[in-house]
Amino acid sequence: MKGTAAHIVRTLLLSLVTLFGVSVLIFLMLRVLPGDPARVLAGLDASAEQVDRIRAELGLDEPLLSQYWAFISGVLQGDLGVSARTSRPVALEIFARMPATLTLAVVATVIGSVVGVAAGVVAAVRRNSVVDHVISSVAMMGVSMPVYWLGLLLILLFAVTLGWLPAAGSDEPLSIVLPAATLGAFSTALVSRMTRASMLEVLGQDFIRTAQAKGAPPRTVIIRHGLRNAFIPILTVISLQFGALLGGAVLTETVFGWPGIGRLLVDSIAARDFAVVQGLVLVYALLFVLLNVFVDVLYVVVDPRIRY
Amino acid sequence: MTDALLSIRGLTTEFVTPAGVVKAVTDVGWDLFPGETLGVVGESGSGKTVTAMSILGLVPCPPGRVVAGEVLFEGRDLLRLPEKLLRQLRGRDIGMIFQDPMTSLNPVLTVGDQIAEALRLHDRGMSRDAARSRAVELLASVGVPHPEARYDQYPHEHSGGMRQRAMIAMAIANDPKVLIADEPTTALDVTIQAQVLDVLRTAQEQTGAATVLITHDLALIAENADRVVVMYGGRVVEVADVFAIFASCRHPYTLGLLSSLPRLDVDLEQLEPIPGSPPDLIDLPTGCSFHPRCRLAKGREICRTEVPPLRDVGGGQLSACHFADEVPAERAVVAGEMGTRLGTATS
């Protein structure tokens, strides 16, 4: 465990380098993007002086290096800057949207993990049976189908035709059902495929035979001896999937009018709202780093052979 | 002789593969008597392990299936026993030790937990603490130093020899009546093999279990077995007590095995290998499956056309050779070729 603590500290220190790299990259990429934020803000019929004034207000007329310095020194003091569009602090914009994204990501991941692992285990244990073929086909469809398409189909069925659930927005408690189901379906498909493959490999191992020779019933053999050994790759897929969802599911949020950070990011890029985009990307990178550290610790818990 | 503890009759197990049906075990039969050690020898692919798996109902299905035969244990046919009853028997009445201790233990559970699991599976009332202290005792009894500390370690923290000791502890946890050891020392260093064998012998004495020792190693048989079953191509070709096997074998395959064995007690000018290679179990030779490699066949037709039955050739010794009577004379010829008096050199 001491090694694990040292590993965490080391990873976090190294991730500072990563975060610095991310900040430089996103800063430069925004600057080489075609389109002038001052021009966008000022509007089409603004005069050249007006545009120049806005540009000066945003600090965009200064050399790149001092612009970056202004950005990064702010970040180090916990100040992500001010949105050019809304004139509100970037941090406020992000934290206003974060709960919606977080809720959606957590619910979709829980659905994906529980249903996906269960389906994958059943498919592996009943290999080549009808059940396996059905599960595998549905999973194949699940990973292949674009999420916005599935989302639209679900809206059509449950909101328009049946009228059971709200089609969009986040005002009602039930609003989360359709977007979570849409994202959860994709996670479920991904997780079940990985679970099936991983379980099949483990169930062929010698120690499974040992467990059977001891007289262990199938449930014990499959869960206690099988699933725990199969869990590392499954955990990896789940965490990657959760990480991707944390960044906001842009398409799903758009289809369902869900006010998460995915849409904020896209809108801000369209409006050339540099401060918000930089802030969001940095926060997202930080979340991903923390998630990775968390999963590293989980690996140690799941598999005693893993030591850092 | 007393009644057999375990009787196998006509056991036939096949595997369906894309290349064809693999006849892993054909018409195998033998008895295991209380307290004895039965050695089962043969090359890899001769059906030794599949026989053991069939006894416990552990042949993976698909692709494997037991096609025919019966396995009688205490008056019950294990092949027709409901899965639930068979499960109660596994690990309680029949303990099994596998070949490779590196892969036969679950890597994410502690060694001790795996032994305690074997105990608690067959004694629902046993508390965790009781199972733990019994498992520690078992580890101590198979010669694992610091059993308390070893209990909480994972398999990767144990050496191969320690793991095989743990496997033995697991197999004898419930004082089984039958112990099946499938190549228990093959995967171990030579120096560790002797130690593990000692542990196995002690465990056998403690539990009084009748043991089936599956191996390709004749030296192991000579040292440990009371009686020997020789297998070839999925069939039993010879059954005899251990002295008879070494002193007066009655099957040319057994003779071949003995002649290819290096010995320290007599001077050999050369070893006599068995020509050819083990048979293809998908496409077995007709008649006696050993005939293409047999020095006794000499092109005789009956060897190619008729499967020789396992028959008594005197003194309870069984041989599945049409010309079992010619084996002793042939042995003298082989001995001459090898430059020694092999036939009389057994002590």
Condensed to tens digits (0 to 9), the pLDDT of residues A109-155 reads 999 999 999 999 999 999 889 999 999 999 998 888 888 888 899 99
Banded model confidence at residue A210, pLDDT cuts 50, 70, 90 = very high
Tell me how long chain A is.
Answer: 308
Residues of chain B contacting residue A302, judged by C-beta atoms under 8 Å apart: 108
Q: What is the pLDDT of residue B325?
A: 87
Asked whether the beta carbons of A251 and A147 are under 8 A apart, the reply is yes
Asked whether the beta carbons of residue B106 and residue A216 sit closer than 8 angstroms, the reply is: no
A228 interaction partners in chain B (CB closer than 8 Å) = 108-109
Q: Residue B193: pLDDT above 70?
A: yes
Measured in angstroms, the CA of A213 and the nearest CA of chain B are apart by 6
Partner-chain contact A305 B105, CB within 8 Å: no
For residues B49-64, average pLDDT: 87
Nearest to A91, CA basis, from A224, A258, A276, A229: A276
Averaged over B290-315, what is the pLDDT? 88
Q: Which residue has the higher pLDDT, A46 or B114?
A: B114
Q: According to the model, what pLDDT value does residue A120 have? A: 95
CATH class of B6-225: alpha beta
- Is pLDDT of A307 > 80? no
Distance from CA of A206 to the nearest CA of B (A): 5
The per-residue pLDDT for range B309-326, each reduced to its tens digit, is 999 988 889 999 999 888
* Amino acid A279: pLDDT: 92
A213/B91 Cβ within 8 A: yes
Q: Three-class SS of residue A82?
A: strand
Q: Are B62 and B120 in contact (CB under 8 A)?
A: no
CA distance B133 to chain A (A): 19
Q: pTM for the complete prediction?
A: 0.81
Does B58 sit within 8 Å of A209, measured CB to CB? yes
* Per-residue pLDDT reduced to its tens digit, B207-250: 888 999 999 888 888 888 999 999 999 999 999 999 988 888 99
Kindly report the average pLDDT of chain B as a whole number.
87
Query: How many Å apart are CA A255 and CA A151, to the nearest integer?
Result: 7
Q: What is the pLDDT of residue B346?
A: 45
Which residues 194-233 of chain A have a CB within 8 Å of chain B? 205-207, 209-217, 220, 224-225, 228-229
Instruction: Render pLDDT for A70-113 as a digit per residue (tens, 0 to 9).
Output: 889 988 888 888 888 888 999 999 999 988 899 999 999 999 99
Q: What average pLDDT does range B167-180 have in this prediction?
A: 90
What's the pLDDT score for residue B2? 62
Q: Which residues of B touch A306 (CB under 8 A)?
A: none
CB contacts < 8 Å between A and B, how many? 72
Tell me the ipTM for this assembly.
Answer: 0.84
Residue B10, pLDDT > 60, answer yes
**B212 chain-A contacts, CB cut-off 8 A:** none
Q: Report the residue of B61, B88, B104 to disrupt the A interface, i.e. the one with the largest count of A CBs within 10 Å.
A: B104
Judging contacts by C-beta atoms under 8 Å, the chain A residues touching residue B91 are 213-216
Average pLDDT over residues B115-124: 91
Q: Select the more confidently predicted residue: B19 or A195.
A: A195
The pLDDT value recorded for residue A247 is 75
Q: Which residues of B touch A210 (CB under 8 A)?
A: 96, 98, 104-106, 167, 170
Q: How far is CA A81 from the centre of its chain?
A: 24
pLDDT at residue B341 is higher than 70: no
pLDDT-based confidence at residue B111 (cuts at 50, 70, 90): very high
**Amino acid at position B123, single letter:** D
Q: State how far residue A229 is from chain B, nearest Cα, in angstroms.
A: 7
**Cα–Cα distance measured from residue A260 to residue A93, given in angstroms and rounded to the nearest whole number:** 10
* A227 confidence band (pLDDT: 50, 70, 90): very high
By CB atoms closer than 10 A (0-12, 13-18, 19+), residue A201 is middle
Peptide bond into B63 cis (omega under 30): yes
Q: Is the pLDDT of residue A30 over 50?
A: yes
Cross-strand pairs, B95: B179
Q: Which pLDDT band, with edges at 50, 70 and 90, does A196 fall under?
A: very high
pLDDT attached to residue A80:
86
Confidence band of B347 (pLDDT split at 50, 70, 90): very low
Domains in chain B: boundaries:
6-225, 231-342
Binned at pLDDT 50, 70 and 90, residue B266 comes out as low
